Amino acid sequence: MLTAFLAASFIGCAPQPASITFEGEPLVTVNTLDALPLKKANILDKAGKPIAQPPKITWTVTPETVAKLEGEKAIKPLANGEATVTATIGTVKGSYQLVVAVPDKIEVVGYDATKPIAVGSSIQLKANVMAGMKPVEGQKVMWKTTDDKFATVNNGKVTGVAPGKCHIVANLGALEARVEVEVVMGAEGPEKVVKVEPKGGKAEAAKPGAKPAAKKTAAPKK
């Protein structure tokens, strides 16, 4: 009897949870399906002070099609989407959002097929990493060319080497996107040598665009 009374008295005097907060940002975004730890919960009393020995927390994740609890300390992402992670003690609740955004597509942009790359010139391509219809930032994309005789690529910068066609490929894990590029000579093409036959029969070299000398004709006799 005395023990029960003392225990009840202790519980009545102990600080009671009034709110639950979480460390860090209220939104957690993950780009893999690897399990991650639950955020640390802070149990506060009515005065906003942490409770040293709070009651046990009950965790839930909804919807479970996006993520589920894994044991008592981790969450297992399952599919792209947004889930709510809730900590509950009695009638007191606190929650944070979990966004699962696993890349499922890459788009290569920056090349206009109507404008081939000139030999020696460069263009900058960009790889848009997507999770459904949403972009995923901070992903390390690997670039390669299918034939460096025609074009090289360095971090998305494509440089024309020789006339021809090849594919520029962007990779992120098992995801791949490619674009065919065409390399041509410059707009004016290579310099050509034009032979001009002067009076006397000796050929002379002239630069492109040079006009041959006009032939003199005798005026008609009156």
Other CB atoms within a 10 A radius of the CB of residue 53 amount to 7
* pLDDT at 211 > cutoff 80: no
- Residues 97-119 have pLDDT tens digits of 999 999 999 999 999 989 999 99
pLDDT score of 52: 84
What's the mean pLDDT when you consider all of the chain? 84
Q: Give the per-residue pLDDT at 12.
A: 54
* Strands of 74-77's sheet in order across: 36-37, 74-77, 67-70
pLDDT tens-digit readout, 43-70: 999 999 999 888 899 999 999 999 999 9
Report the alpha-carbon distance of residue 214 to residue 218 in Å, rounded.
Answer: 13
Question: Domains plus CATH for the chain?
Answer: 15-100 (2.60.40.1080), 105-184 (2.60.40.1080)
pTM to 2 decimal places: 0.66
| pLDDT, tens only, 155-209 | 999 999 999 999 999 999 999 999 999 999 975 434 333 344 445 555 444 444 4
CA distance 62 to 83: 5
Q: Convert the pLDDT of each residue in 70-80 to its tens digit.
A: 998 999 999 99
